C-alpha cells in the first residue's frame, strides 16, 4: 500500500472539504493509497516538515485552492523535500489544477496511476516561490481586500465584482523591466508573470506560457483608453490569448526584474507578496506533479 500525505485547508472555497474528508480517504484506500492527514494553519512550516519526517510519504496531496498549493510548494522547496505533488482543487480559484486538467472526476485515478510531469517554478527575490502567477497593479489589491465570507459565497465573482468598482480609479504606472540582460519600460495598469496560461479562472490568457519550458511569460496591460481596454477584456472573456494584443506588452525570459516608483505590492498565486522591485527567476523542472497522461 502506498503512503501519501494529504494537506488540506479547512477554510478553502466554501469550507466544505472537511465534510468530504471521509469519502476522500475511502476512495484513496480503495486504490491502495493510505493517507496521513495534515490540517493547515498559520505559520506551520516547521510542523509540516515534522509531519513529513514522521509519516515518510511517497507524495504530497494539496487539497485547497491556489493559496494552499502555494504554501505546499514553498514548504517543499524551502526544506529541500523532493516529493511528487497531487492536487485536489477545492478552493475559490484552482487555476493550476485546471491547467493540469484535474477535476473532481479524475484526481483519484490520476494520483493512483502515478503519472507525473516536471513543472517549473518562479522564485521571487530569492526567497518565495510561485507556481502559477506573480502580479502587481490594478486588481491585485482587490483580491486581498475581498472578505473571506463574501469570497466563499460568491466564488470568483467576488474578485470581479470588487474589480468593477475599481474601474474609475485606474491609474497607469511606469514599469521598468530588466529581462535576460535587456532593458524595457512601459506605462501599464498591471502586469502578470505567468508560469501557466490559466489565471483568475481564464484558461488561456497566454498562448506562449508553458509550465515546463524554463521560461516565464510577462504580460502587462498598457495604458490606453477605456474602449481599448474593453476590447482586450472581451478577448479574455472569450478565451482568446492576448500575447499579441495591441494593448499588451509581452515578453518571455528566464529571469527578470520589475520596478516601479508607484509603490506597488506584489501578489504570488493570490497571496500578498513584497513591495516592488520584484526580482524573478525560473527554477526549471523544480517539482513533479501528478497529471493525466498526455
State whether 275 and 217 are in the same domain.
Answer: yes
Kindly state whether residue 168 falls inside one of the protein's structural domains. yes
Per-residue confidence (pLDDT) for residue 143, from 0 to 100: 53
How much is the pLDDT for 150? Answer: 46
Q: State residue 189's pLDDT score.
A: 87
| CATH number of the domain where residue 208 is located | 2.60.200.40
Q: Do 141 and 28 fall into the same domain?
A: no
Q: What is the model's pLDDT at position 26?
A: 93
Exposure pattern of 197-213 as b/e (b: 16+ CB <10 Å)?
bbbbebebbbebbbbeb
CA 38 to CA 36: how far, in whole Å?
A: 7
Q: Are residues 68 and 190 in the same domain?
A: no
Considering the domain architecture, whether residues 279 and 134 belong to the same structural domain is answered as yes
The pLDDT assigned to 142 comes to 54
Range of the domain at 104: 2-114
- Total number of domains in the chain: 2
Does residue 119 lie in a domain region?
no
Return averaged pLDDT per consecutive 10 residues of the chain, 294 residues in all. Answer: 90 70 91 91 77 93 88 94 90 77 82 93 96 84 51 48 52 92 93 89 84 95 79 78 89 96 87 90 96 82
26 part of the active site: no
The verdict on residue 122 lying in a domain is no
Contact yes or no for 50/66 (Cβ under 8 A): no
Cβ neighbours of residue 109 under 8 Å, at least 6 residues apart?
31
Sequence length of the chain is: 294
Catalytic residue, chosen from 101, 166, 246, 271, is: 271
Instruction: Using the 3D structure, point to which of 87, 114, 141 is the last residue of a domain.
Output: 114
CA distance 260 to 174: 6
Q: Is residue 124 part of a domain?
A: no
pLDDT at 164: 46
- Domain C-terminal end among 114, 145, 162: 114
Residue 202 has what DSSP assignment? B
Instruction: Report the distance separating Cα 124 and Cα 178, nearest Å.
Output: 14
Whole-number pLDDT of residue 154: 44
> pTM of the full predicted structure?
0.88
Which 3 state secondary structure label does DSSP give 271? strand
Amino acid at each position: 500500500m502506498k503512503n501519501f500525505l494529504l494537506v488540506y485547508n479547512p477554510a478553502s472555497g466554501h469550507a466544505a472539504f472537511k465534510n468530504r474528508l471521509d469519502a476522500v480517504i475511502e476512495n484513496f484506500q480503495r486504490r491502495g493509497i493510505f493517507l496521513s492527514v495534515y490540517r493547515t494553519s498559520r505559520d506551520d512550516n516547521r510542523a509540516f516538515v515534522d509531519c513529513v519526517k514522521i509519516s515518510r510519504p511517497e507524495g504530497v496531496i494539496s487539497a485547497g485552492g491556489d493559496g494552499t498549493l502555494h504554501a505546499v510548494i514553498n514548504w517543499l522547496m524551502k526544506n529541500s523535500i523532493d516529493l511528487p505533488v497531487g492536487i485536489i482543487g477545492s478552493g475559490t480559484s484552482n487555476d493550476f489544477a485546471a491547467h493540469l486538467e484535474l477535476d473532481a472526476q479524475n484526481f483519484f485515478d490520476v494520483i493512483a496511476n502515478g503519472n507525473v510531469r516536471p513543472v517549473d517554478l518562479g522564485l521571487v527575490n530569492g526567497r518565495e516561490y510561485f507556481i502559477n502567477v506573480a502580479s502587481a497593479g490594478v486588481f491585485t489589491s482587490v483580491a486581498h481586500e475581498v472578505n473571506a465570507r463574501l469570497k466563499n459565497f460568491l466564488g470568483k465573482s467576488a474578485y470581479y465584482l470588487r474589480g468593477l468598482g475599481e474601474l474609475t480609479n485606474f491609474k497607469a504606472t511606469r514599469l521598468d523591466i530588466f529581462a535576460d540582460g535587456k532593458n524595457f519600460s512601459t506605462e501599464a495598469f498591471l502586469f502578470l508573470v505567468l508560469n501557466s496560461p490559466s489565471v483568475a479562472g481564464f484558461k488561456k490568457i497566454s498562448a506562449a506560457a508553458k509550465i515546463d519550458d524554463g521560461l516565464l511569460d510577462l504580460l502587462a496591460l498598457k495604458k490606453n483608453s477605456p474602449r481599448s481596454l474593453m476590447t482586450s477584456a472581451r478577448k479574455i472573456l472569450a478565451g482568446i490569448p492576448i500575447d499579441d494584443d495591441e494593448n499588451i506588452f509581452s515578453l518571455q525570459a528566464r529571469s527578470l526584474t520589475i520596478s516601479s516608483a508607484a509603490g506597488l505590492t506584489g501578489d504570488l498565486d493570490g497571496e500578498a507578496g513584497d513591495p516592488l522591485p520584484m526580482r524573478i527567476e525560473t527554477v526549471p523542472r523544480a517539482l513533479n506533479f501528478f497529471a493525466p497522461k498526455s
